[in-house]
């Protein structure tokens, strides 16, 4: 009988670690990894993975959607966190190319679902950032994660 071996790899080539301490710093980092030419074209979701000291391990481009929506697979967010041996995550998405950073009802619902899923795996859900070219909304700043 033959059984396939499962192999999981994570490579961190960047020796410089960025420590996340606040939402403004998250926004600056998010803007640096976003393609500014397409930020207002379609929704995208990226996830930052952090170690237990809030040092960034890396990011994962989770999904690209249409003009006003994007499919977010929570299982993929969490499985990637486990593969990277992350202790914490930050979800980031550009908000509906309208340049309005205020979260929609579905953004609030998604954030709650991700938060509940993270608790099951003992992962810290640091923040969900909604960004535009000029500004952002931080769920953590609004004390959603207390």
Residue 64's DSSP bridge partners are 44
The predicted-structure confidence for 100-123, as pLDDT tens digits, reads as follows: 788 889 899 999 999 999 999 999
Is the confidence at residue 76, as pLDDT, over 60? yes
SS3 82: helix
Neighbour-count burial for 107-136, b at 16+ CB within 10 Å, e otherwise: beebbeebbeebeeeebbbbbbbbbbeeeb
Spell out the CATH class of 23-142. Answer: alpha beta
The predicted-structure confidence for 2-47, as pLDDT tens digits, reads as follows: 887 777 666 666 667 899 999 999 999 999 988 888 777 788 899 9
**What Å distances lie between residue 10 and 1, 38, 81, 85, CA to CA?**
30, 28, 10, 8
Q: How distant is the alpha carbon of residue 22 from its chain centre?
A: 15
pTM (two decimals): 0.87
């Amino acid at each position: 009988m033959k059984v396939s071996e499962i192999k999981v790899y994570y490579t961190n080539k960047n020796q410089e670690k960025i420590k996340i301490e606040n939402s403004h710093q998250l926004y600056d980092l998010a803007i640096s990894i976003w393609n500014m030419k397409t930020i207002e074209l379609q929704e995208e979701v990226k996830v930052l993975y952090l170690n237990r000291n809030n040092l960034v391990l890396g990011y994962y481009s989770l999904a690209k959607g249409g003009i006003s929506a994007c499919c977010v697979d929570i299982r993929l967010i969490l499985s990637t966190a486990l593969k990277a041996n992350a202790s914490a995550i930050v979800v980031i998405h550009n908000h509906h190319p309208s340049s309005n950073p205020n979260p929609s009802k579905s953004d609030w619902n998604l954030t709650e679902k991700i938060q509940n899923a993270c608790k099951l795996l003992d992962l810290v859900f640091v923040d969900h950032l909604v960004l535009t070219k000029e500004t952002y909304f931080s769920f953590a700043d609004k004390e959603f994660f207390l």
